[in-house]
């Protein structure tokens, strides 16, 4: 835990300073998770604020310290899921956005304004984002939490309130769907190239 349960208790009692302390402790990590879940840097703060807003209004339901972090993850997952569902149409029109971004990136590269590392990072982010856009929001979030955030099955069990075996099945199916969708779309050279470039 990044904060003592005492601070959480004070925040539950309405202490604004204690709540600020919680936000400051978990903000960076939460924003990082959201950034990787939604792949929209411009909306990360907005979703992050929504997470802490929900935390503020549901803090009184928290009874023990152990469940705080899985609970915050659950709030993060729910907010990211809501965002992804709301912006599904925008996500579907990603191809036009991407091509525009790619033009800008190409211009910048031609002008030598973007260095090699930034270019590689962007390629990887775009490749993974395109790959995860091909599956449902639920698959995207589950895979990101497990494979990118590195959460264990035990942690996922607490977040999803689902048995480990059921999670394993869902993860396996999500992986298969990603591989299938990506294979069908014929995007693999760019993704693999992007991964290879970084590794």
Partner 1 sequence: MNWTNRGDNNADLDALFGAYRDACPDPDASANFMPELWRRIEERQRSVFFLGRWARALVTAAAVLSLGMAAYLYIPHGSSSLFSVESYVEALAAGHTQDAPELPPAADEL
Out of 131, 145, 151, 156, the only residue in the binding site for partner 1 (CB under 8 A) is 131
3-state secondary structure the chain: CCCCHHHHHHHHCCCHHHHHHHHHHHHHHHHHHHHHHHCCHHHHHHHHHHHHHHHHHHHHHCCCHHHHHHHHHHHHHHHHHHHHHHCHHHHHCHHHHHHHHHHHHHHHHHCCCCCHHHHHHHHHHHHHHHHHHCCCHHHHHHHHHHHHCCCCHHHHHHHHCCCHHHHHHHHHHHHHHHHHHHHHHCCHHHHHHHHHHHC
Q: Which is nearer to partner 1, 66 or 169 (CB)?
A: 169
Indicate whether 99 belongs to the interface with partner 1 (CB under 8 A): no
Q: Which is nearer to partner 1, 89 or 184 (CB)?
A: 184
Indicate whether 125 belongs to the interface with partner 1 (CB under 8 A): yes
Indicate whether 164 belongs to the interface with partner 1 (CB under 8 A): no
What is d(CA 26, CA 168) in angstroms, rounded to the nearest whole number? Answer: 28
Helices 68-86 & 153-160 angle (0-180, nearest 10): 70
Out of 75, 77, 143, 156, the only residue in the binding site for partner 1 (CB under 8 A) is 143
* CA 5, chain centre distance (Å): 26
* Interface mask toward partner 1 for 11-50; x: CB under 8 A: -----x---x--x---xxx-xx--xx----x--xx--xx-
Indicate whether 77 belongs to the interface with partner 1 (CB under 8 A): no
- Tell me the closest approach of the beta carbon of residue 98 to partner 1, in angstroms: 16
Measured over the CA atoms of residue 84, residue 86, residue 92 and residue 94, the dihedral's sign is negative
Out of 17, 42, 57, 112, the only residue in the binding site for partner 1 (CB under 8 A) is 57
Indicate whether 198 belongs to the interface with partner 1 (CB under 8 A): yes
Q: Which is nearer to partner 1, 16 or 166 (CB)?
A: 16
Q: Which residues bind partner 1 (CB under 8 A)?
A: 16, 20, 23, 27-29, 31-32, 35-36, 41, 44-45, 48-49, 52-53, 56-57, 120-122, 124-125, 127-128, 131, 143, 147-150, 175, 178-179, 182-183, 188-189, 191-192, 194-195, 198-199
């Amino acid at each position: 835990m990044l904060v003592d349960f005492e601070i959480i208790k004070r925040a539950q009692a309405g202490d604004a300073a204690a709540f600020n302390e919680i936000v400051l402790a978990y903000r960076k990590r939460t924003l990082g998770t959201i950034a990787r879940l939604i792949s929209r840097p411009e909306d990360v703060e907005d979703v992050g604020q929504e997470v802490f807003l929900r935390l503020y209004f549901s803090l009184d339901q928290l009874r023990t310290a152990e469940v705080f972090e899985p609970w915050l993850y659950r709030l993060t997952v729910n907010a990211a899921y809501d965002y992804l569902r709301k912006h599904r149409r925008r996500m579907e029109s990603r191809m036009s956005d991407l091509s525009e971004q790619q033009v800008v990136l190409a211009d910048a590269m031609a002008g030598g304004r973007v260095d090699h590392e930034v270019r590689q990072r962007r390629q990887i982010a775009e490749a993974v984002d395109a790959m995860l856009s091909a599956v449902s929001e639920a698959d995207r979030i589950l895979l990101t939490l497990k494979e990118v955030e590195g959460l264990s099955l035990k942690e996922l069990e607490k977040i999803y309130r689902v048995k480990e075996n059921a999670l394993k099945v869902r993860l396996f199916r999500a992986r298969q769907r990603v591989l299938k969708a990506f294979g069908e779309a014929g995007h693999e050279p760019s993704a693999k190239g992007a991964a290879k470039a970084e590794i």
